[in-house]
Structure 1
């Protein structure tokens, strides 16, 4: 990853920068809290009671925006008004100012390099926490989309992640949390977020996904154009006529087909290719005029180690088939640490009961978040420390489940995985 020199503070000023960042976060929260209080005092708050939430999150910074994006997909866990308030953060974050965009373009295309565009529209067509997207035209008349990284992110996100890591270290000192690898989990997630700053890695992920998922007729992934890319600028083919990926404009059968297309593509990534796409939310999924699903973003794609991929596949298959003892065995084999004094019979019995209550349930009756919470609680009480690498496939499934529940509550997303799981495990 290329580091912006003005984004990375020298070691001597890091503590001062962290203290300043902490003060900014506190001041931002207090300022927005004062606005909410004023609205209530004047009886002018928004009807849904969630006014100002998106503005607060956006002002706090990209690390907070990323968390809110994930939460907004969980309408089964949060009230619709909160999900709606945070939903715009997928691709409607406040765009870069003109000076910021110029600075980012100068870094991507310095004076010694030829300007690759015949036309570049200065107004962003989409705006996320990491980058803004602009429409442009190459010299050969090819229409392209230019994903331009916001300047200053390495330092800002680095500070936020260091604060989160410090908080995780404190949490792990609590008696009830000493056996939970919170610091390692935060480290794994932090590495993934930092990967999103490297648009070269995203271009590589786009090429890999296009090659791996090319046989899915209803799925389209835009191709990157390497010759036009720059430092912090990802140029890809422009896909015209896109519309929001939402359930309202489809029949029930169309929704079922779309859900299964996305499901099977995700299962291929997870269980065959060993790639985890943690951002399969409505801000990255669109429909083209032909009704095909278009996946626009590959920034939050994490490769799985072969061992982690196989163990997760084994657990998911056994969970889908209601095999509780086998699920318990996979959890123990994948654990980072199992203390000698652990009550393994009790732990296995807990896993068997958990799997028995969820096997065969359809999307409308099954919630992955409560399932994961019970699983982690069993591990915590038994002292069985889960491997932090499993946070990514779980995160991917949590985001995906939010979309599934909105489109088709009757889909059995466990059973839908079996045709992909069996050949993958046989290999």
Structure 2
């Protein structure tokens, strides 16, 4: 079933399919639509591209412009793909990183009714002051400045009207496309398109729910409460909802404004250490981290404090994944290429790996990056390139973290050109390793393991009864992977050929040869036909007796 056949069942998506196909044609990337079965919806045209600039641009540039024209869902997908340096080559990554979600804000009159509905009153009543002109705007929401009646400066984030139905339609279509790619092009299965789409759906769900963004912000603030030099904006949940978020306005200096930093006497080295410590604690200890720490989402505050703002994009890491990351850091420090290779294989789940070649590449990797100072951005970039070269796809949560680490490392290095990520991470990694492997924690793991075995033992009788029942019913299904199936086929063809030659040889020897003695001219008193028959018999016997050459 094609995407077109599936989506025609839902008439509400048909218009959107046509819009997508038209945009792909406009920017000269309609081959994507054709491969996905949308060729019948493509507008008829004579030139290669209808957009004025498309003809002179590269394929990655055309795709980036098309994505920006398709709206927030596709922009978010492009941003997710820009984190997948383990899958895409540098020229595609570089172009996708340029994706911009900045758009013109909606006029106040277009959103007034929605804002009043969400606040339960006019904003001019709820707030002491409210700016009707947006401070900034993106494809998902726009931001307005306001002041509470107690004098607190806040920003009010308002989701664009009518956005959810469009996003849901796009997610349905992209989900169909992912299934089609996996079904029709098995060579792309390693890219895990469905996993990427699941990640996209979760990311879009959180971005559309501004209340969820507020909860994420509050959770991070609670996790980092002990770090006095870290500031997280306060959320005013009493006025927040799915479509509207009110949070504290933080007035600070963006980290790449070096003139302002120098004028206020802030120390770039201290800011870099503080910001790195906070980010690594979010990722390695708490498992909930800011996934887009670019300069616009960071602020330098007096006293060399650092503020993180805009938690619309966050990442989550489970305990097992955090433990693996600690193991990766330890493997790099100890220059153990073998352990790096083992982690890569576990993360990718690939079965057909050239292990000696992978371990040799990992040895080269740790030899280059295991010596201080560790340039984190370069190390992660090389690590993902290593995965790409060996056809190893990383899990989506790791790809998001690695992208965030590269972004954060760039910001910190702009503050401190001699920044050593390993020195900054050392205390946190050491503290976490001690916490995880202290006697109490090991006893806890032992108890958990004992409970797992106890649960398994309790379930064993019912599982065995079910297995016996399925055996009696003949309903046991087995999935068998045959290694070297092509070799088996070749052996079967070889055996069949030998049988055929043996039959022909036997026919000449037993049936045709005696009769050939009576026909045709002779040579040295022997009929030529008989000589030919003898030659055929001898040739057949020789072929049968010679062993097969491998």
Asked if structure 2 preserves the Cα contact closer than 8 Å seen for 1:220 and 1:293, the reply is: yes
Alpha-carbon spacing, 1:100–1:287, altered in 2? closer, same or farther (3 Å) = farther
**Structure 1 residue 95 displacement after superposition:** 1.6
Alpha-carbon spacing, 1:123–1:281, altered in 2? closer, same or farther (3 Å) = same
Alpha-carbon spacing, 1:206–1:65, altered in 2? closer, same or farther (3 Å) = same
1:366 to 378, 398, 405: 378
Q: In the alignment, which residue of structure 1 is the partner of 2:131? A: 121
The number of aligned residues is 394
Alpha-carbon spacing, 1:117–1:231, altered in 2? closer, same or farther (3 Å) = farther
Asked if structure 1 preserves the Cα contact closer than 8 Å seen for 2:146 and 2:153, the reply is: yes
Q: In the alignment, which residue of structure 1 is the partner of 2:204? A: 193
1:134 aligns with 2:136: no
- Distance in 2 between the 1:112 and 1:285 partners? 31
Q: In the alignment, which residue of structure 1 is the partner of 2:24? A: 26
Instruction: Provide the secondary structure at the position in 1 that maps to 2:421.
Output: coil
Alpha-carbon spacing, 1:307–1:190, altered in 2? closer, same or farther (3 Å) = same
| TM-score, with structure 1 as normaliser | 0.77
The root-mean-square deviation of aligned C-alpha atoms, in Å, is 4.0
5+ residue gaps, structure 2, are 1-6, 29-48, 437-550
- Distance in 2 between the 1:59 and 1:29 partners? 10
* Higher Cα radius of gyration: 2
Alpha-carbon spacing, 1:11–1:126, altered in 2? closer, same or farther (3 Å) = farther
Q: In the alignment, which residue of structure 2 is the partner of 1:155? A: 165
- Distance in 2 between the 1:232 and 1:19 partners? 27
Asked if structure 2 preserves the Cα contact closer than 8 Å seen for 1:21 and 1:159, the reply is: no
Asked if structure 1 preserves the Cα contact closer than 8 Å seen for 2:231 and 2:308, the reply is: yes
Q: In the alignment, which residue of structure 2 is the partner of 1:220? A: 231
Alpha-carbon spacing, 1:414–1:130, altered in 2? closer, same or farther (3 Å) = farther
1:319 aligns with 2:317: no
**Structure 1 residue 275 displacement after superposition:** 1.2
Asked if structure 1 preserves the Cα contact closer than 8 Å seen for 2:377 and 2:409, the reply is: no
5+ residue gaps, structure 1, are 1-8, 41-50
| TM-score, with structure 2 as normaliser | 0.61
**Structure 1 residue 423 displacement after superposition:** 1.9
- Distance in 2 between the 1:345 and 1:157 partners? 45
1:109 aligns with 2:119: yes
1:236 to 244, 247, 261: 247
1:178 aligns with 2:189: yes
- Distance in 2 between the 1:221 and 1:234 partners? 15
Asked if structure 1 preserves the Cα contact closer than 8 Å seen for 2:123 and 2:130, the reply is: no
**Structure 1 residue 223 displacement after superposition:** 0.5
- Distance in 2 between the 1:98 and 1:253 partners? 38
Alignment of 1:324-363 (within 5 A): 324-335=337-348, 337-339=349-351, 342-360=353-371, 362-363=374-375
- Distance in 1 between the 2:152 and 2:310 partners? 20
Asked if structure 2 preserves the Cα contact closer than 8 Å seen for 1:145 and 1:236, the reply is: yes
Alpha-carbon spacing, 1:139–1:55, altered in 2? closer, same or farther (3 Å) = farther
- Distance in 1 between the 2:214 and 2:325 partners? 27
Deviations 1:163-191 (A, max 9, x none): 54455445545454333323213322331
- Distance in 2 between the 1:176 and 1:10 partners? 27
Deviations 1:371-399 (A, max 9, x none): 3121233243xxxx644432232232233
Instruction: Provide the secondary structure at the position in 2 that maps to 1:349.
Output: helix
- Distance in 2 between the 1:152 and 1:419 partners? 48
Alpha-carbon spacing, 1:267–1:378, altered in 2? closer, same or farther (3 Å) = same
- Distance in 1 between the 2:205 and 2:77 partners? 14
Alpha-carbon spacing, 1:168–1:401, altered in 2? closer, same or farther (3 Å) = farther
- Distance in 2 between the 1:11 and 1:413 partners? 53
